[in-house]
Each structure stands twice: as structure tokens, then as C-alpha cells.
Amino acid sequence: MSVDQVPIGTFSRITHLPVKALRLYDERGLLVPAARDICTGYRYYTFAQVERGILIRHLLWLGFCLQEVETVLAARERGDAGTVRDLVARRLAATEQEIGRLHVIAEVLRMQDPLNGGFRMSVTEPVIKEIPPLRVLTRRERGAYHEIIHELIFELCGYVSPVDGRQPTAKMAGPIMFICHDEEYRETDGDIEIAIPIVGPARTDAPGVGVRNLPGGRFVSVLYTGPYPGIGKAYERLFAYMGEHRLAPAGPSRELYLNNPHEVSEDELMTEVQFLVMEVPPSA
């Protein structure tokens, strides 16, 4: 072993990366050992690789997934500062969203009766309304709800309300909405669509972003006011109403976000929840 060869165990201790993780990074080409013993397969690194190992550890600590770490390092090596900035901005947004979620949990746990909900919220009485077809700018993706919803909203808002001085490429004509295409709750691969009603021409240049018409019809609706984690109460009220009036969902639910979470407190957040409905025929 040369002086500059660092055994995997020592390298693990220096970088705080587990040996099991180092083997995985080797397989993925993220951090390949400088040498390998021909007989034993034992991995050796160099002191020059310590910096990369520590950087990987730091990015993981910041909350980047392994695929994002690979993307950041590859962009850094080719001098692509824009990609690095975009990934950092997305990680910051996700972190701030998680801070908000944890803040809500902390407030609920401080309540005298946290097991009974703990949210300060209100739900209006359900109403039936006729909603015309809507032309929307849309993006549909699979992933964890709390991550993908925020990412897609951020992406679509770049078309209707850019923050970098560019001119909008679509004119917003209604509140941002979340359309859930799942028949059951899915932890990590929900079928999520974010849509923004628009009028006039729209120019899109990103894969997956498009324009389509949402169907109109007879909808049952409630207005929920309060933190997003308590919105289940709105669905509870809607399904009770549908059961009482012999109605059934005829399409995916829609959540319309009526104000900006950056401008009002969580207790003041307003979300309209809608279901396209059909009448249930009397049983024979």
C-alpha cells in the first residue's frame, strides 16, 4: 500500500460516510476508489478524494437525495452554476415547506387536546354549483404530495408570474388548483396534477407542461379555512353531504388555493374543495 492509499475504513472515518454507503457510491460511479486489491477486492482511496467525500456527506446532510447529489457534483465539475443554483433553490423551498409542516405539528402538540385535531379551522356548508369547462395550463407528475405539489406550482407560476423580470407567457384567469388522480392515498408516487386557469395564447417550452380543457359540470363544493394538514375535515363534510343526497364522485377532487401562504397566516389559508358529482340511482 502506497503512502497516499487510504483504506476504506479510514476513509469512512474521515468523511463520516459509512462503508456500506461507500460501496454503493463506487457502484454508481459517484466516488470510485483510486485502487482495489486484486486478491481481496479491498478498496483504497487517496487523500485528494477526501474533499469529494466530505462534499457528498455535506450535500446529504442538507437533504439532497443521492440522485441530486450526483447531479450537483456533475454540474459543478462542468462549471454549470445555473443547475447548481436551481437545485439549491428547490432544496431551500422544500426545507422551508417542511419547517412549516413541523411548525403546525408543534402547535397541535401544544394544544390541550391534540388527539382531537388541534387545528383552528372552519368548513362551510356544502353547496352545489355549475362550473363551466376550464382551459388550464397544466403539469402532471408522480411523487410525494408534499414535495411534488410545491414543485409543480413553482414551475407553472414561472409562466404566469415570472420573478426574474421575464414577460409572462400565459395570462392567469383563476386560482391555482391541485387535482388528485389517485383512488387511494399513495405515500411516494401520487398521481398529481397542478392546473392554472388561463385565457388567451400560452407558450410553453418545458416537457410535461401543456394546455388542456378541464371538464365542467355539476360540482359539490365547500370552503375550508385553516392549515393545509387539516383539510381532511373538508372531505369529511363533502362525503357526508354526498351520502345524504345520493351523490357520488364522477371525477377527481380539485383543491383551489384562494390565497397565498406567504401572505397570510396558516389559520387564514382558504381552500375550496370541489367534486364533480353524479346522482346515485335508487337500489332495486
For range 239-264, the mean pLDDT: 91
Both 86 and 223 in one domain: the answer is no
- Out of 9-18, 90-99, 159-168, 208-217, which region has the weakest mean confidence (pLDDT)? 159-168
pLDDT, residue 187, reads 76
Task: Say if 206 falls within a structural domain.
Answer: yes
CA distance 146 to 228: 10
pLDDT, residue 26, reads 92
CA distance 23 to 134: 52
Task: Give the model's confidence band at 141: pLDDT under 50 very low, under 70 low, under 90 confident, else very high.
Answer: very high
Structure pTM?
A: 0.62
Both 146 and 259 in one domain: the answer is yes
For range 117-144, the mean pLDDT: 87
Last residue of a domain, one of 97, 115, 133: 115
Last residue of a domain, one of 26, 59, 78: 78
**What are residue 78's phi and psi, to 5 degrees?**
-95, 5
Both 152 and 262 in one domain: the answer is yes
For range 158-184, the mean pLDDT: 87
Task: Give the model's confidence band at 164: pLDDT under 50 very low, under 70 low, under 90 confident, else very high.
Answer: low
Give the domain CATH number at 40. Answer: 1.10.1660.10
Both 95 and 56 in one domain: the answer is no
Domain ranges, residue 68: 6-78
**Looking at the 3D structure of the chain, how many domains does it have?**
3
Both 199 and 88 in one domain: the answer is no
Beta-bridged to residue 273, according to DSSP, are: 222, 255
pLDDT, residue 284, reads 44
Task: Say if 16 falls within a structural domain.
Answer: yes
Task: Say if 1 falls within a structural domain.
Answer: no
DSSP state string for 139-154: EEEEE-HHHHHHHHHH
Tell me the pLDDT tens digit for each residue of 182-210. 888 777 888 999 999 999 888 888 888 99
Task: Say if 284 falls within a structural domain.
Answer: no
For range 121-125, the mean pLDDT: 88
pLDDT, residue 126, reads 93
Both 135 and 244 in one domain: the answer is yes
For range 131-146, the mean pLDDT: 91
Tell me the pLDDT tens digit for each residue of 70-83. 999 999 999 999 88
